[in-house]
């Protein structure tokens, strides 16, 4: 994750240096746009800290998430714009492989991975966008900004709404023939605290490509990283048979890939131009474009 962030920062610096050089023979679009976005997320492992006991700490696993929503953007300069989105997406996704060496029936746990289902919430990404033409109708895209979550829950629940999240992996305890009920008890548990009233913020860094369709709209593919500043959940774990325990925490760091369709509000004007002149051609002066965008 750290190497990915360093690579993206160096790439941003290179692009800003390149912008000061000779202007290309055509310009990116300007004005207001609205888009539909969808992305998949590869979520970083949670972390465990061993404190005591014969059982080792659980081994964390990568998990997956998603987001989808709308985006409103305004491109105020030759290469730059800003955007704000409203997405429905996942948080709190984490998984681990716990130690089953002391579990009574090994046949029941072979290959088991202990996971927590992701919660769904409203997220607001706010970004500064950079576009640079590579060739006609194809643009390199870079973005940086913040990913904000918790505004809705803060408005609904107020300032001090803290909840506990607990997961239990159970084992058989005993069978009661009179009631025909199998009773269980926990083999492993982890318990964490989450402040639902706290507004959470991640740093976003991404790069990608935008393709301009004949009538002015855009298809954009981007990939990047989202880095959280603080843990989302903090707590402890425990193995009951050996009384082994330690700490664990969950951060919402992830790598994302996003596909977007961007409407530029110039469809009718561009359509008339294409019908009259064919596919748009750009002037070679480096100052303006024949394509009316």
Q: Is the pLDDT reported for residue 119 higher than 50?
A: yes
Q: Which of 91, 97, 67 is nearest to 231 (CA)?
A: 91
Question: Is 118 within the bounds of a domain?
Answer: yes
Residue 40 domain boundaries:
2-16+32-99+111-162+197-233+245-277
Give the per-residue pLDDT at 141: 95
Cβ atoms of 41 and 256 within 8 Å: the answer is yes
pTM above 0.85, yes or no: no
- 168 falls within a domain: no
Decide if 186 is inside a domain. Answer: no
Domain annotation covers residue 222: yes
Does 285 map to a domain? no
Q: Which tokens hold the place of 196?
A: 């639902």
| SS3 assignment for 110-121 | CCCCEEECCEEE
Q: Are 129 and 75 in contact (CB under 8 A)?
A: yes
- Does position 271 have pLDDT exceeding 80, yes or no? no
56 is a domain residue: yes
Contacts of 232 (CB under 8 A, 6+ apart): 91, 92, 194, 200, 250, 251, 252
- Expressed in percent and rounded to 5, the helix, strand and coil fractions of the chain are 15, 55, 30
C-alpha span between 247 and 207 (Å, rounded): 36
If one counts the domains in the chain, the total is 1
* pLDDT of amino acid 100: 92
For residue 184, count other CB atoms closer than 10 A to its CB. 12
- Which tokens belong to 46? 């949670």
The per-residue pLDDT of the chain, averaged, comes to 83
Over residues 133-148, the mean pLDDT reads 93
Query: For residue 150, what is the domain's CATH number?
Result: 2.40.160.20
pLDDT tens column, 211-238: 988 878 899 999 999 999 899 999 999 9
- Give the end-to-end CA distance of the chain in Å, rounded to a whole number: 38
At residue 285, does pLDDT exceed 80?
no
In a domain, 189, yes or no: no
How many whole angstroms separate alpha carbon 148 and alpha carbon 11? 24
Could you count the other beta carbons within 10 Å of the beta carbon of residue 4? 14
Predicted confidence band of residue 292 (pLDDT cuts 50, 70, 90): very low
pLDDT band at 240 (very low <50, low <70, confident <90, very high): very high
pLDDT of residue 17: 47
The C-alpha atoms of residue 178 and residue 223 are separated, in whole angstroms, by 60
pLDDT value for 126: 97
Distance CA 96, CA 65 (A): 16
Asked if residue 141 belongs to a domain, the reply is: yes
């Amino acid at each position: 994750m750290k190497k990915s962030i360093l690579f993206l920062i160096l790439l941003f610096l290179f692009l800003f240096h390149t912008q000061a050089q000779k202007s290309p023979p055509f310009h990116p679009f300007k004005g207001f746009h609205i888009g539909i976005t969808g992305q998949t997320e590869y979520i970083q492992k949670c972390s465990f800290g061993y404190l005591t006991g014969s059982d080792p700490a659980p081994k964390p696993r990568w998990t997956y998430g998603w987001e989808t929503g709308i985006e409103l953007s305004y491109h105020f300069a030759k290469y730059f714009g800003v955007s704000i989105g409203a997405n429905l997406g996942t948080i709190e996704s984490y998984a681990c492989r716990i130690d089953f060496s002391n579990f009574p029936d090994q046949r029941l746990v072979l290959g088991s991975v202990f996971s927590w289902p992701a919660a769904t919430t409203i997220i607001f990404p706010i970004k500064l966008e950079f576009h640079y033409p590579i060739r006609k109708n194809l643009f390199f895209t870079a973005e940086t900004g913040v990913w904000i979550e918790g505004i809705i829950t803060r408005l609904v629940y107020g300032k001090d709404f803290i909840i506990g999240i607990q997961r239990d992996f159970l084992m058989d305890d005993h069978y009661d023939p009179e009631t025909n009920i199998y009773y269980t008890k926990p083999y492993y548990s982890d318990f964490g605290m989450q402040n639902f009233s706290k507004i959470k913020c991640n740093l976003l860094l991404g790069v990608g490509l935008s393709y301009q369709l004949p009538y002015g709209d855009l298809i954009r593919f981007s990939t990047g990283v989202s880095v959280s500043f603080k843990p989302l959940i903090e707590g402890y774990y425990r193995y009951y048979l050996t009384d082994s325990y330690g700490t664990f925490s969950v951060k919402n760091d992830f790598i994302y890939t996003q596909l977007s369709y961007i409407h530029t509000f110039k469809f009718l004007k561009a359509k008339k131009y294409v019908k009259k002149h064919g596919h748009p051609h750009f002037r070679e002066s480096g100052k303006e474009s024949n394509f009316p965008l």
